[in-house]
Amino acid sequence: MADHLTDQEQLEALRRWWKQYGASLALALVLGVGGWFGWQQWQQARESRAQAASLVYEEMMSAVAGEPVEELDEAALRTVQDRAEALRADYGDTQYGALAGLMLARLAVGRGDFDEAAELLRAVAERDDDPELALLARLRLVRVLSAQEQYDEALAQATPEAPAQLAAEFAEARGDIHYLRGDLDAAREAYQVAVDAAGSGGNGLLAALLRIKLEQLQPEATVEDAS
């Protein structure tokens, strides 16, 4: 305020200024400080939730202990089922929820419940927050649909636009579908694509297994060397 104003005049001017702008200033301060604290609380809650999900996931994987789910005893299977269901129910929007969906699908396949397995895999395959995990779910869905003899849908899911790291697996799946449908020419073509993809990707073991499939369909033909 100007130096020539008296103390009383300065006080009156301050009161008028506060009456005009004070409420807005107070609101801005509340929103600013509240927003900062809200952000901090949200971050802490997010980290805490991720840690909790990680612990449940570790319990699930500890019960599996690196063994095929088909070989787990009843107690281990129950633990895996419970933890996977908890992850999917409480943390379904996280990567742990998606991984739990894949695990539950494996358990469903082990029980012979292909309908449930397909439903679980579709849910993961349709997620857009983790493309690689979604692609893996789609590949497994192709296998489940093939087991259900739903060949048209299985073939539609076995997209040829798969990335390089799964190109051989998807091509193999297409070959298997064609073989099951009796279309041996299409099966040979798909298996050859799979052999080439596995060879160029440095997966020698998969390439060797695929060559066996291909050679069984054309015993007198020479399979192109993809190594």
- The confidence score (pLDDT) of residue 64 equals 87
The DSSP-derived string for 3-42 is: TTS-HHHHHHHHHHHHHHHHHHHHHHHHHHHHHHHHHHHH
- Which residues constitute the domain of residue 198? 160-227
Ramachandran bin of 182, using left for φ above 0, alpha for ψ from -120 to 50, beta for the remaining angles: left
Measure the CA–CA gap between 168 and 191, rounded to whole angstroms: 9
Measure the CA–CA gap between 98 and 85, rounded to whole angstroms: 11
* 77 and 134 inside one domain: yes
* 75 and 146 inside one domain: yes
CA distances from 5 to 14, 18, 19, 48, 74 (A): 12, 18, 19, 57, 88
Residue that the structure tokens 């080439």 belong to: 196
Share of the chain above pLDDT 90, in %: 51
Per residue in 98-149, pLDDT (tens digit) is: 999 999 999 999 999 999 999 999 999 999 888 889 999 999 999 999 999 9
* 113 and 203 inside one domain: no
Checking if the pLDDT of 185 tops 80, the result is yes
Q: Which two tokens stand for residue 108?
A: 């469903």
Measure the CA–CA gap between 79 and 69, rounded to whole angstroms: 12
* 169 and 121 inside one domain: no
Checking if the pLDDT of 223 tops 90, the result is no
Looking at residue 73, what DSSP letter applies? -
Q: Which two tokens stand for residue 189?
A: 């073509």
Checking if the pLDDT of 191 tops 80, the result is yes
Checking if the pLDDT of 25 tops 70, the result is no
Torsion sign over Cα 73, 76, 80, 82: positive
For the chain, the average pLDDT equals 83
Checking if the pLDDT of 1 tops 50, the result is no
- The confidence score (pLDDT) of residue 42 equals 41
Residue 16 located in a structural domain: no
Residue 176 located in a structural domain: yes
pTM above 0.95, yes or no: no
Between 42 and 95, the more confident residue is: 95
Checking if the pLDDT of 207 tops 60, the result is yes
Checking if the pLDDT of 165 tops 90, the result is no
